[in-house]
Structure 1
Amino acid sequence: MTRIPAAPLALGLVGLLPFLWGVLTSFVPSLSLWTAQTISPRFVGPYVQLAYGTVILSFMSGVLWGFATKAAGAVAASGYALSVVPALWAFFFVGGGPVSAATWLALGFVGILGLDFMFQKQGLAPGWWMSLRVLLTAVVVLTLLPVIFG
């Protein structure tokens, strides 16, 4: 694994803010109340984590699709096919209440690591990609655990 460039690292870390905010508002009632009254109840606790997590899981399909564009033939075809899995996963599995949704999201994010690894091994993802993805996925899954295990 190689050093992650500053811009992807910074943007990736900023992308964790809704997950971290969800945890923070789950454990700090005054912050939760302030957020609900000042911004919106949908930016509190698991609501923000689950909504944003679904968006990001789908976003990852686009990222993987971009990697597939660097390939040709059967490798490209399988890359395109596999790149839609995260979005379909979010569409079909995320729902049914916060515990179920958080569980399926966490499993989806962990599952994407396998696809990330495959694209990296094929030389389609940058050399630093797995370093970034493991870091971000670890934080995302850790922030979903309080929702799953309440």
Structure 2
Amino acid sequence: MTRIPTSALILGLSGLIPFLYGAVTVLLPGTAELGRAWSVYHAGPALLQIYGIVILCFMAGVIWGFAARAEGRQATLFYILSVLPALFVFFTAFAPPRQSLWMLILAFVALLAIDASAARQGIAPAWWMRLRLMLTGVVVICLAIGALA
């Protein structure tokens, strides 16, 4: 199996920081005061909801990139799949934070299935699923902590 490029690994892990911080502010509510200096939304379930929406849309863009590597029906399918997360997020954004977090968990798991399909079809890098499984595992755990709070 191909090694995950160092830059992709470091940046991917860095992208987990807001998820981890959001989960910590749920588990240790006193830590939420750090984020409240900026806004009431920079802690807990609300932070997890907002950042989860941002990252889900970002990952939809990655699917668009996979579609650009494909041709014909395969490309059309992945272009369609790349638009679905943004449409899903439109409805998720208006739900209360905890309900939204459950919806985001389902979306990230579905996104992982799309990534696996892209990897099987050879339009994702060979190392892609190793990175995605690791990152998605942490994201789902953090979102679940917020949803169960």
Output the TM-score relative to the length of structure 2. 0.93
Q: Name the SS for the 1:41 alignment partner.
A: coil
Match status 1:20 vs 2:58: no
CA deviation digits over 1:33-52, x for unaligned, max 9? 2321x222221111211101
- Please list every run of 5 or more consecutive structure 1 residues that lacks an aligned counterpart in the other structure: none
Q: Which residue of 2 aligns with 1:127?
A: 126
Q: Name the SS for the 1:96 alignment partner.
A: coil
Aligned residues: 149
Q: Which residue of 1 aligns with 2:33?
A: 33
Percent identity, please: 45
Describe how 1:1-150 pairs up with structure 2 within 5 A.
1-36=1-36, 38-150=37-149
- Please list every run of 5 or more consecutive structure 2 residues that lacks an aligned counterpart in the other structure: none
Question: Which residue identity does 1:25 align to in structure 2?
Answer: T
RMSD value, Cα? 1.3
- Cα displacement (A) at 1:94: 4.3
Does the aligned pair in 2 maintain the 1:59–1:87 contact within 8 Å? no
CA deviation digits over 1:11-40, x for unaligned, max 9? 00000011111111222233212321x222
CA deviation digits over 1:43-97, x for unaligned, max 9? 1111211101001111111110011101111111111111111111211234421
Question: Which residue identity does 1:24 align to in structure 2?
Answer: V
Does the aligned pair in 2 maintain the 1:61–1:87 contact within 8 Å? yes
The whole-number CA distance in structure 1 between the counterparts of 2:34 and 2:16 is 21
Give the structure, 1 or 2, with the largest relative contact order (CA under 8 Å, sep 6 or more): 2
- Of 76-85 and 101-110, the range deviating more from structure 2: 76-85
